[in-house]
Amino acid sequence: MDYKKQYIASASRYDEGMMNYRTCGRSGIRLPEVSLGFWWNFGGVNVYEDSLAKMTYAFDHGITCFDLANNYGPPFGSAEETFGRMYSDNFRAHRHEMIITTKAGYNMWEGPYGAGSSRKMLITSLNESLERMHLDYVDIFYSHRYDGFTPIEETMQALVDIVRSGKALYVGLSNYPADKLTEAVAYLNARDVRPLIYQGKYNMLTRDVEKAHLQLCQDKGMGFTAFSPVNQGLLTGKYLNGIPADSRAALGHHLLSSMITPELVDKLRALNSVAEQRGESLAQMATAWVLRRPEVTSVIIGPRTVEQMMDSLCALNAAPFSDDEICLINEILAR
């Protein structure tokens, strides 16, 4: 692609078979089964042309949901700045085709108000996010976490006021314990700002949300979007034969080499054998495994390259899991 030319979206991006869309809870919104996440590979340290190549490939293949947060980068804020540049230069004409999300709650700036779920933090952060992304509003604004000390009422009222201000069309919740999620949903519902979606970490190796969150979202009419379907690269096959020098584990990027234990490698090799029998890569099977759950609306991928994105999107055409395959996978994970 010639990056000096104005981007022209593919005319086939919504053709049958390109992307599947799932209804988000009890709403009129349908999300693509695969969303593009900006957590780690779209920051100021990354090559802009590479980020643009991934963004255009995603949109050309029916990905319409783009997941950001105030502190995505690195450095903090730079992923939103990258998105803002791409949006202004290439995607502004397609704003109504896009679901753009951002979040606030984790560390963002220095001092006592730079993290947490206070009204000051959420509203200030959203205003700065909109400026970085060159937007008047986001489609979904998430409270990124329950911080353990801000009253639920304060956080939720901030979300109510954000929607009523027009700076977000919907609100979502992420990384909340099930009991606090229940409280938060009740507060929002009572004020007619019904939460659209919950975002949680979910993959073959991290299954905590199966205990309560998936059923809770279904009961409350919320969608569920899963992040980290390949568990920061563990479920890509990258670590089957050691720790590559350029990997997150080797560099200490949110994954420690000490986590790559012989027991884990044995599980990964066994899972990879199942994937090979299915005619898939481990990453494809891992993504398809999350999407097998009807409660899951969308899976967020954060590819480092276009090639990795192409591999992940092949999961959309994966064969359904047989009962025997599910039993075998569960047996492997229980080892």
pLDDT of residue 1: 44
Distance CA 69, CA 242 (A): 32
The CATH classification number of 21-243+281-321 equals 3.20.20.100
CB burial of residue 147 (10 Å; 0-12, 13-18, 19+):
middle
| Mean pLDDT, the chain, integer | 94
pLDDT of residue 136: 98
What lies within 8 Å, CB to CB, of 103 at 6+ separation is 68, 69, 70, 141, 142, 143, 144, 174
Prediction pTM value: 0.94
Over the stretch 22-81, which tens digit does the pLDDT of each residue have?
A: 999 999 999 999 999 999 999 999 999 999 999 999 999 999 999 999 999 999 999 999
Does the structure show a pLDDT above 50 at 304? Answer: yes
Does the structure show a pLDDT above 80 at 249? Answer: no
Q: Over 234-267, what HEC string results?
A: HHHCCCCCCCCCCCHHHHCCCCCHHHCCHHHHHH
Distance CA 25, CA 230 (A): 24
What residue ranges do the domains of the chain occupy?
A: 21-243+281-321
Q: Count CB atoms within 10 A of the CB of residue 226.
A: 25
Over the stretch 94-126, which tens digit does the pLDDT of each residue have?
A: 999 999 999 999 999 999 999 999 999 999 999
The span from the first CA to the last CA of the chain, in angstroms, equals 47
CB burial of residue 85 (10 Å; 0-12, 13-18, 19+):
middle
Q: H/E element holding 277?
A: helix 262-277
Q: What three-state secondary structure class fits 174?
A: strand
pLDDT of residue 242: 65
pLDDT of residue 3: 47
> If you count them, how many residues does the chain have?
335
Distance CA 141, CA 155 (A): 12
pLDDT of residue 2: 47
Over the stretch 133-171, which tens digit does the pLDDT of each residue have?
A: 999 999 999 999 999 999 999 999 999 999 999 999 999
Distance CA 149, CA 169 (A): 27
Mean pLDDT within 305-331: 96
Does the structure show a pLDDT above 50 at 182? Answer: yes
CB burial of residue 125 (10 Å; 0-12, 13-18, 19+):
buried
Q: Could you tell me the pLDDT band of residue 239, with boundaries at 50, 70 and 90?
A: confident
